[in-house]
């Protein structure tokens, strides 16, 4: 099943109105932003687990699992390229570390094993909330804007906020402060910024998983 085959649902006007960020728009003289969805980007590698810890297979399968269980979930906005948003994408190693933190055991198995461990540990509803916490609706925030947004509070599709902490702008070191004060906050991956740039939906890779509450 491909995420792009799932009918996308638009976010409510109220939710879009809570975004504390710059709305999507093209700079003067630029072409209008395109409509390629992040779902297309995430599934473009064949949508399968592999041995590459630096890509986003576990994230992709988590999105698919939520939509399979809850077709009307707001997560489906990732498949609607007409809706502007910014997403932060934890890589597979980040989810492996999350599974270790939740179970107190290092997951030596495949990415599929890690994914199943996470589902068993917290359930689909909690995974849905974690995924939505990685999405900022209504705003196309490129890396240049992010690096100028120290201390900005971004309201996520989950309803809570993430604070941008620009640590070293020259080296594109940016921390994202989440709502779990007992964990290490994620950082943007300087080598994986502006994924899907030129479209209304843009993403940035991150190391570690944003947590909407104390997991």
Question: Does residue 58 lie within any of the structural domains?
Answer: yes
Q: What is the pLDDT of residue 103?
A: 94
At 137 the three-state DSSP class reads strand
Question: Does residue 215 lie within any of the structural domains?
Answer: no
Q: What is the pLDDT of residue 213?
A: 85
Nearest to 89 by CA among 150, 130, 118: 130
Question: Does residue 45 lie within any of the structural domains?
Answer: yes
pLDDT at position 76 over 60 = yes
Q: What is the pLDDT of residue 8?
A: 30
Average per-residue pLDDT in the chain?
87
Question: Does residue 212 lie within any of the structural domains?
Answer: no
Question: Does residue 213 lie within any of the structural domains?
Answer: no
47 vs 57, residue with greater confidence: 57
Instruction: Tell me the CATH number at 170.
Output: 2.30.180.10
Put the strands of the sheet holding 161-168 in their side by side order. 135-137, 85-90, 201-207, 187-188, 173-177, 161-168, 153-155
The range of the structural domain enclosing residue 100 comes to: 3-25+33-207
26 vs 121, residue with greater confidence: 121
Question: Does residue 107 lie within any of the structural domains?
Answer: yes
Alpha helix (H) residue ranges in the chain: 13-16, 38-42, 57-69, 92-103, 111-132, 143-147
Q: How much is the average pLDDT of 87-96?
A: 98
Question: Does residue 66 lie within any of the structural domains?
Answer: yes
Which two structure tokens, joined as six digits, stand for 129? Answer: 């909330």
Report the domain count for the chain: 1
Q: What is the pLDDT of residue 31?
A: 77
187 beta partners = 175, 207
Residue 116's pLDDT band (cuts 50, 70, 90): very high
Q: What is the pLDDT of residue 149?
A: 97
The DSSP 8-state label assigned to residue 173 in this structure reads E
User: What tens digit of pLDDT does each residue of 51-60 get?
Assistant: 999 999 999 9
Listed range (101-105, 127-131, 156-160) with the worst mean pLDDT = 101-105
Question: Does residue 155 lie within any of the structural domains?
Answer: yes
DSSP letters spanning 85-113: EEEEEE-HHHHHHHHHHHHSS---S-HHH
User: What tens digit of pLDDT does each residue of 132-154 get?
Assistant: 999 999 999 999 999 999 999 99
Q: What is the pLDDT of residue 46?
A: 82
Q: What is the pLDDT of residue 3?
A: 32
Q: What is the pLDDT of residue 5?
A: 31
Q: What is the pLDDT of residue 10?
A: 25
């Amino acid at each position: 099943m491909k995420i792009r085959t799932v009918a996308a649902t638009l976010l409510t006007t109220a939710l879009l109105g809570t975004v504390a960020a710059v709305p999507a728009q093209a700079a003067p003289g630029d072409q209008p932003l395109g409509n390629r969805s992040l779902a297309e980007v995430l599934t473009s590698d064949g949508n399968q687990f592999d041995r590459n810890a630096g890509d986003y297979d576990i994230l992709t399968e988590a999105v698919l699992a939520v939509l399979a269980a809850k077709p009307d979930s707001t997560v489906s906005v990732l498949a609607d390229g007409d809706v502007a948003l910014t997403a932060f994408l934890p890589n597979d190693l980040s989810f492996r570390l999350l599974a270790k933190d939740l179970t107190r055991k290092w997951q030596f198995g495949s990415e599929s094993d890690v994914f199943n461990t996470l589902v068993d540990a917290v359930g689909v509803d909690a995974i849905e909330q974690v995924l939505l916490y990685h999405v900022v609706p209504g705003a196309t925030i490129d890396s240049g804007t992010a690096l100028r947004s120290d201390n900005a509070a971004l309201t996520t599709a989950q309803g809570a906020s993430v604070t941008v902490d620009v640590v070293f702008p020259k080296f594109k070191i940016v921390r994202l402060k989440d709502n779990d004060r007992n964990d290490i906050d994620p950082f943007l991956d300087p080598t994986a910024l502006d994924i899907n740039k030129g479209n209304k939906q843009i993403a940035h890779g991150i190391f570690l998983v944003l947590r909407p509450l104390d997991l």
